């Protein structure tokens, strides 16, 4: 794709790979936002506010015309927000609480053009976990994969074996709902060469080569 430079206000390798696979001229500039400063009323509001803070923090230092993208993902079980586990014991507790239940994954998305306003949206996906065995749980924890993931699992990795089903955008659970993002970007960048798919499930047919998650180890 041609057009303005897209700046990703996140260090997430998963978000970076999604945007790179879409063909954007991409620069990664992680924000310095203190995520503990947010005190929103709902998980959805928290995700949107954090995405906004990340984008505006990075956009302030960018040349006029640069388009900055930011996102924040929260995992919610009942009224409890699950962050990233501190250690294996924490990961075990999180995954045990999710086992056999349905939880929500909410990602707030923000797009801002440097020197201009900010566009905001959010996406929510329901994920139901299998009633996986204690052996499966311990094997997964030993893999190390849960350690840097909200909710202590990665649906695009080995964690997929713990998931029974999901309803909604798969990309959202990975950390960046692409249809939601592209609807915002379309207001800032000419995306005519890439028509928006109707659902997340269409992405394997829209991206060149294998779906990006098939390339990820």
Q: Which two tokens stand for residue 159?
A: 């964690």
Task: Give the residue from 131, 128, 126, 77 showing the smallest Cα distance to 99.
Answer: 131
Question: What does the H/E/C string look like for the chain?
Answer: CCCCCEEECCCCHHHHHHHHHCCCCEEECCCCCCHHHCCCCCHHHHHHHHHHHHHHHHHCCCCCCCEEEEEEEEEEECCEEECCCCCHHHHHHHHHHHCCCEEEEEEEEEEEECCCCEEEEEEEEEEEECCCCHHHHHHHHHHCHHHHCHHHCCCCCHHHHHEEEEECCHHHHHCCCHHHHHHHHCCCCCCCCCCCCCCHHHHHHHCCCCCHHHHCC
Select which of 39, 41, 57, 72 is catalytic.
72
Is there a catalytic annotation at residue 72? yes
Query: Annotated catalytic sites, by residue?
Result: 72
């Amino acid at each position: 794709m041609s057009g303005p430079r897209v700046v990703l206000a996140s260090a997430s390798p998963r978000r970076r790979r999604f945007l790179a696979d879409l063909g954007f001229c991409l620069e990664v500039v992680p924000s310095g936002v203190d995520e503990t400063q947010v005190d929103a009323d709902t998980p959805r509001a928290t995700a949107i506010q954090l995405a906004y803070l990340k984008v505006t923090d990075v956009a302030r230092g960018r040349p006029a015309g640069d388009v900055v993208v930011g996102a924040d993902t929260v995992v919610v079980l009942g009224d409890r927000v699950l962050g990233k586990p501190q250690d294996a014991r924490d990961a075990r507790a999180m995954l045990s609480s999710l086992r056999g239940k349905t939880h929500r994954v909410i990602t707030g998305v923000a797009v801002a053009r440097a020197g201009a306003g900010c566009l905001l949206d959010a996406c929510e996906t329901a994920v139901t976990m299998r009633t996986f065995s204690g052996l499966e749980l311990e094997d997964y924890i030993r893999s190390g994969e849960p350690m840097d993931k909200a909710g202590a699992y990665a649906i695009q990795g080995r964690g997929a074996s713990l998931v029974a089903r999901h309803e909604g955008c798969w990309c959202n659970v990975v950390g960046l709902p692409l249809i939601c993002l592209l609807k915002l970007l379309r207001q800032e960048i000419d995306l005519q060469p890439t028509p928006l798919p109707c659902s997340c499930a269409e992405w394997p047919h829209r991206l060149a080569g294998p779906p990006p998650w098939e390339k990820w180890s």
